[in-house]
Amino acid sequence: MMASRIKWAGVAVIAAGLACAPLILEQTGNLFWINVIAEIMIWSLLAASVNLLLGYVGLLSFGQALYFGFGMYGVAIGVSHFGLGLWPAFFLGVGAASAMAAISGAVAVRLTWHYFAIITVVFSLIFYFVAMSAKSITGGDDGLSFSTPALWEAAGLSLTDRVTQFYFIYMIVFACFAAFALLVASPLGMRFAAVRDNENRASLIGINVYLTRWIAFVIAGFFAGVGGALFALFGRYASASYMFYHVSGEAVVWSIVGGTGTLLGPFVGTALLILFREVISGIWENYLIAVGALVILVVMFAPRGIVGIFNDLISRRERSKEGREDSEIEPLAQAD
Amino acid sequence: MDLVIALTINGLVWGLIVALIALGLSIIFGLLDIINVAHGDFFMVGTVLALVIAGTTGFWIALVLVPLIGLALGLVIERLVIRPTISAASLTIVTTFGLSMILQEAVRATFGAQARRMAAPIPGTVPLFGLEYDVYRLFAAVFAMLCIAAFFLFLSRTRLGTWIRAVRHDRETATALGIPVTRVCAFTFGLGTAMALLGGAIAAPITTVEFRTGVDILPVSFMAVVIGGLGNLKGTVAAAILLAVLEGLISSFADPTLARITSLAVMSGVLLLKPKGLFAGATR
Amino acid sequence: METALEIQGLTKRFGGLTAVDNIDIRFPKGILNAVIGPNGAGKTTLFNLVTGMLPATSGHVFFQGEDLIGKPPHQIVARGLSRTLQIKSVFGGMSVRDNIRIAVFANEGVSNPFRPARGYRDISRRVDEILQETGLNRLASANAGALSYGDVALLEIALALANRPTLLLLDEPICGMSPSETERTVERITKLARTIDVILIEHDMEVVFKIADLITVMAQGRLLVQGTPDEVAKNDKVQEVYLGTPEEVE
């Protein structure tokens, strides 16, 4: 189908563009932007985590920052308190985030609609406060700094080199989005779609709705945890303030602006809003007003988000090319 | 012991103010079915307006003006922002999140980032339980109580109040009975906003006034609504007071953060075990 | 004769209202069963109880030797009992083929997150089978949300067939259909009934009397009478329930 070919071409362009970015930026001397793009990729995982739940399973979580935080602290505490190497710390962070998602998900997924959103916030707040008060372990509000362990001693690769760090993050984020794409196209992904589309019907054809939602919740926690772990490695820093509901809320905004229910929507939304912030904050100190207004306008006029609208345009173009409209589908009974 | 008493009474004072704010949140949640993330920021705007107006014309005028401004603000926001987005059900929370950003930043831009404190409108203290207690705090508690009572009277005795209760109870029947549901909802949003701003005005002299105070008040108000039970207004008031007193008590011997964690844990428990609220069945 | 479904002492109370009142019904195997009764007789509630969509107040429902009461819907479906809904409801955001595909996946218990759904050959074959059986193959790529009411009803039946049921409960399958749609659907149902046990709720008496082997009449949550179409047509109590006693028919 032409439409999906265009979409995949778009994905390829973005992936290739990102791969070349550091080399181009090095040449033009804009080293600062290498780090900005790296940060965008990291935060896009948090947005992707929101997107999985909201766009594919129909659950609005306002507390994904909790799992981001677990990933972040897993690495920070692993390195500074236990002296772990890079990969062990990374897996500790991701594992902690996924485990937390499994436990809290078992409880949260029982609820639906507003109550689900509320309890996700409540959980993230509880741990935010715990992290704030356990200053000795987490560094509280001031945060926990550490020096990054070597990436690959033998090859002399270290995250202190901007470009190496960029590609490290790029490869992991790429792998995550690739896994996301596979997931969505898989039978499990179809299960998610069924639960989101018509919960009643789903259970009538034999789907365990609760279990399906829980699985999605754990996977979402996993993605958020990877983001948090990368964030800690990137900034050599972890702070409880990144677990606050405001962070979760921003991730929801990025996901919606980019387009929920699409593969690259979270990336596009995150990129747009972080670039917006970097560019506008230099010009207008109170740029957050513009961001807030943008959010409201997007919900009012473009709730499908940027990538969502793009997809709609492509599909419509394809359908009109083939000359077939939905209304032309004759009911079988009349077709004799 | 003195500390315990002082913190408990503080808790009671705050509990009544939070009750006022939470009632506003509850009617908005109950009628319009939206989670208003900006509700805490409405409270914050109330504190800021109160401080500014008190500086020019006096606190007592502020106490009257601020809720009226709140009503107007709520009506405008409902018309411009809420109504156009209300059909995208789960997205309304995002809309109010954007609103929250705008409010906080707008206040930061005009009022400044510096936290300020207000002089007590009623200076002095009274001896209470062997302590010297601020007169203004006692006034604040009484005034908040009167406002809450007025709110309940409004709901039960006036026609508009009855309409609000009808729409909350059964929207379709209310429409069939000829009640102008859209306008009732708009007014409800305005009323809820006004109550948040009023709470802010009352609280202004006893809290720091800055653009971030809303962020703290929001979870507290939601806790009162959820634990009290959605739709159970009296339960919300009781929950607000109980939570504030509980937190005050815990703060007297432990980290205030622990107090907050305890309240949140209670809230989780209620959401999971008694989703209709702690007082479901106790009151109608 | 063997039993397809046995209902014992089934009761459902909603507060003060008793929707199903201590019912005992036996649906024999190998024939086409129909359940009829005036509005409010409790027919759909009965289906809801049997499929686990509503919790029962008391009683038992025996299917293949097991009591279904207390089991959640997805477990009942897994045991080979399917139903269609009175208010037709499918996955409106997906194509007809995908609707059936997800049902087959769910039944086969497949949920591998790493293989593309399109890649499963045997699943696709089964989907095509079902599309043929219900005659939906021409609409396979159409969006389920854009179908005519009659075709949605057919899709419902297709979804119910995905788990290779031994017992199929059809809740007003031809409700709202045009005469030609009705004819096709009735044809399909009679064909299906040759290999699967079918229990049908219907209001269209002409259809019921034409195709049903055994008719169960319910009224006010209770079993009124059970018999062949001839027996039921001549039964006084049935006539009373539908038409009122002679004095009332004025």
ipTM comes to 0.83
Among A119-123, A204-208, A234-238, which range has the highest average pLDDT? A119-123
Mean of all residue pLDDT scores within chain C: 84
Whole-angstrom Cα distance, residue A64 to residue C184? 51
As a whole number of angstroms, the distance between CA C37 and CA C222 comes to: 10
Please tell me which residue of chain B has the smallest CA distance to A295.
B98
pLDDT tier for residue A153 given thresholds of 50, 70 and 90? low
pLDDT at residue number B230: 79
Collect all residues of chain C within an 8 Å Cβ-Cβ radius of residue A334: 180
Our measurement of the distance from residue A272's CA atom to the centroid of its chain's CA atoms, rounded to an integer in Å, reads 14
- What does the CA dihedral A288, A292, A295, A296 come to, rounded to 10 degrees? -160
How does residue C247 score in pLDDT terms, banded at 50, 70 and 90? very low
Coil, strand, or helix at residue B134? strand
Check residue C248 and give its pLDDT: 41
Residue with tokens 């909790």: A66
Separation CA C153–CA C147 (nearest Å): 10
pLDDT for the residue numbered A28: 78
Interface test with A, best of C85, C91, C186 (most A CBs within 10 A): C91
CA distance B167 to B182: 10
CA distance B112 to B176: 49
Q: How many CB pairs under 8 A join A and C?
A: 127
B and C: touch, per 3+ CB pairs < 8 A? no
pLDDT in tens, A202-226: 888 888 899 999 999 999 999 999 9
Q: How far apart are CA A265 and CA A247, in angstroms?
A: 18
| Mutation target vs B (from A64, A128, A288; most B CBs, 10 A cutoff) | A288
**Cβ contact, residue pair B94, A117, below 8 Å:** no
Mean predicted confidence (pLDDT) in C112-136: 82
Sheet holding C17-28, edge to edge: C17-28, C3-14, C58-63, C66-67
| Chain B CA closest to residue A284 | B109
DSSP character for A62? S
CB contact under 8 A, C89 and A186: no
Nearest to B271 among A119, A245, A246 (CB): A119
Name the pLDDT band for B31 (thresholds 50, 70, 90): confident
List pLDDT tens digits, range B204-248. 988 888 888 888 889 889 889 988 887 788 999 999 998 888 888
- pLDDT above 90 covers what percent of chain B? 34
Are residues C201 and C172 in contact, defined by beta-carbon separation less than 8 angstroms?
A: yes
d(CA B268, CA C159): 38
Radius of gyration of chain C (CA): 19
Contact between A299 and B98 using a beta-carbon 8 Å cutoff: yes
Note whether B212 contacts A: Cβ–Cβ < 8 A.
no
* Residue in B29, B46, B22 with CA at minimum distance from that of residue B205: B46
- The more confident residue out of C151 and A56 is A56
3-class secondary-structure state, position A280: helix
Q: Is A74 within 8 Å of A56 (Cβ atoms)?
A: no
Residue with tokens 């109040």: B161
List chain C residues with CB under 8 Å of A187.
105, 110-113, 115, 117, 120
Record the tokens describing residue C54, joined without a space.
């509503």
Interface present between B and A (3 or more CB pairs within 8 Å) = yes
Which among C91, C113, C163 has the least Cβ separation from residue A201?
A: C91
Task: Please count the CA atoms within 13 angstroms of the CA of A60 that sit on its side-chain side.
Answer: 18
Burial of B146 (0-12, 13-18, 19+ CB in 10 A): exposed
What's the CA gap between B241 and A107, in Å, rounded? 28
pTM for the whole structure = 0.86
- In the predicted structure, residue B165 carries a pLDDT above the cut 70: yes
Whether C49 and C10 have beta carbons less than 8 Å apart is answered as: yes
Task: Collect all residues of chain A within an 8 Å Cβ-Cβ radius of residue B271.
Answer: 111, 115, 118-119, 122
Structure tokens at C99: 């609707």
- Please report where in the chains the tokens 């428990």 appear, as a residue: B269
Q: Which of B222, B257, B275 lies nearest to residue A132, judging by beta carbons?
A: B257
Mean pLDDT (whole number) for B122-147: 85
- Mean of the pLDDT values across residues A119-132? 90
Let me know: does B277 contact B227? Beta carbons within 8 Å.
yes
Largest CA distance in chain B: 59
DSSP three-state, residue C89: coil
Contact call for residues A49 and A224 (beta carbons, < 8 A) = yes
Best mutation target, B271, B272, B274, to test chain A (most A CBs within 10 A): B271
Which pLDDT does position C142 carry in this prediction?
85
SS3 state of residue C15: coil
Amino acid B68: pLDDT: 94
Would you tell me how many other CB atoms lie within 10 Å of the CB of residue C234? 10
Residue C80: name the closest of C5, C179, C190 by CA.
C5
Tell me the average pLDDT across A301-322.
Answer: 83
Domains in chain C, start-ordered, CATH in brackets? Answer: 3-248 (3.40.50.300)
B151: helix, strand or coil: helix
| B264–A contact, CB cutoff 8 A | yes
Q: How far apart are CA A119 and CA A62, in angstroms?
A: 9
Write down the mean pLDDT value for chain B.
87
Residue entry with tokens 């006029």: A301
DSSP at A159: T
Start-end of H helices in C162-220: 179-192, 205-211
pLDDT (mean) for B115-121: 83
**β C32-36/C197-201 pair status:** parallel
Please enumerate in sequence order all residues whose Cβ is within 8 A of that of A300, keeping only pairs 6 or more positions apart, or say none.
Answer: B84, B85, B95
Q: Confidence class of residue A323 from pLDDT cuts 50, 70 and 90? A: low
Residues sharing a CB contact under 8 Å with residue B175, sequence separation 6 or more, in sequence order: B181
